[in-house]
Amino acid sequence: MKIIARDLRSIIKGNPFGILERRKNRSSRRRTKSRGPILDIGCGTGTVALYFAARGESVTAIDFVDEAIRQAKEKAKRQNAVAEFFVKDFFTVGEWNRKFANVIDSGLFHIFTDNTERRERYFQVLEQVLEPGGRLYQLTTIQLMPFTQQEFEGLFPKKGWTLESIREFVAEVTPEAAAEHPGFNWNSWFTVLQWNG
């Protein structure tokens, strides 16, 4: 599934990363006021990762599917974008010894609908890769996480985390994704959580 999160973009325009604070100087138009390195988890073919890379952010992206990463690297080359892509299981990134100020999850967490253990482990891994004060930006489709908002919020750990915002929106998808998942309900939650460390 390839989610292009129109709303993610508009929230980003609302400036969590300050990405649109372009300089007046044309030569530095693509430079940004970065809020630190980004890790995209379950990046698929890299759509979201490359969106940020094109805006001058430092982006690392992982997916455990070789073919997805191969395509992501190819796309990066075509777009002349600089981003790191790795074939990696998300559940191993805690052993990686790298920290990020931002983690983007566009469609990974919602895979663990019926798996409490995986959901809990997910947050333990994030605690290892996020810098203290770092944020998780998460897009979750409601069809795959069919809970009330209150139940959904109950999936997030309380200790060490602050739920900064959560809102419902309809994700915009590529024509290929729409064709692959006919009738899918793209209503989603966009959630921002801060890891206090």
Ligand X SMILES: C[S@@+](CC[C@H](N)C(=O)[O-])C[C@H]1O[C@@H](n2cnc3c(N)ncnc32)[C@H](O)[C@@H]1O
* Six-digit token string for 175: 């024509």
C-beta separation of 60 from 86 below 8 A = yes
Residue 56: partners with Cβ closer than 8 Å, 6 or more residues away: 19, 30, 31, 32, 34
Vertex 99 angle, CA 97 and 103, to 5°: 130
Q: In this chain, which of 44, 125, 127, 134 binds ligand X, going by CB under 6 A? A: 44
Q: In this chain, which of 111, 155, 178, 192 binds ligand X, going by CB under 6 A? A: 111
The least CB distance from residue 169 to ligand X, in Å, is 14
Within residues 46-65, the interface with ligand X by CB under 6 A covers: 47-48, 62-65
Any contact of residue 166 with ligand X (CB under 6 A)? no
Question: How many CA atoms, within 13 angstroms, populate the side-chain half-sphere of residue 37?
Answer: 14
Residue 80 DSSP symbol: T
Rg of the Cα atoms in the chain: 16
How big is the site for ligand X, counted in residues (CB under 6 A)?
20
Any contact of residue 89 with ligand X (CB under 6 A)? yes
The least CB distance from residue 18 to ligand X, in Å, is 22
Any contact of residue 72 with ligand X (CB under 6 A)? no
Any contact of residue 137 with ligand X (CB under 6 A)? no
Residues lying near ligand X in the complex (CB under 6 A) are found at: 1-3, 42-44, 47-48, 62-65, 68, 89-91, 106-108, 111
